Amino acid sequence: MNGLTALDRHITKAVKSGVMTPDSLRLEARKLRRCAPELAQLGPPTRRLRRIHQMASKACGAFEQGARCDTAAAPVLAGYNPAAAPGAKMNGLLDCRDAGINKGFRIIADAVFNASFIGPQS
């Protein structure tokens, strides 16, 4: 439970608001990609936490999708001309990023919530 809560906090800190730059997108992608390895570091789940672990794993998959979109958007943003109309490609990549990250946050929040009902390990 503590490990899952820490993972949730780490991912939440990875997603920053503010001005997006190619470097900030790449950094965010690297941090989002740490979800699955950090979940693996928690070790195999107990029988009681197997469903919670599966949810967290799905969340990491969604964060990975957001990271792929971040990585793809970084070079597009680097060549972006603010005087021009927003490009459909850039908008699509940012929508993809947001969808992955938001889905991951919803799933990990559900996992943390459900884990709180299971209680501490005996």
Tell me the average confidence (pLDDT) per consecutive run of 10 residues in the chain, 122 residues long: 83 84 94 95 91 95 97 89 72 94 95 79 46
Mean confidence (pLDDT) of the chain: 88
- Reading the block at residue 70, the tokens are 């971040």
The kind and range of the H/E element at 8 are helix 2-14
**What is the rounded CA–CA span in Å between residue 88 and residue 5?**
37
* Residue 96 CB contacts under 8 Å (≥ 6 apart), including other chains: 65, 66, 68, 69, 72
What's this model's pTM, rounded to 2 decimal places? 0.87
- The parent domain of residue 10 ranges over 2-118
> What gap in Å lies between CA 73 and CA 25, rounded to an integer?
7
Domain count of the fold of the chain = 1
Tokens, residue 15: 């997603």
pLDDT tens digits along 9-38: 888 888 878 888 999 999 999 999 999 999
Rounded Cα gap, residues 51 and 116, in angstroms: 13
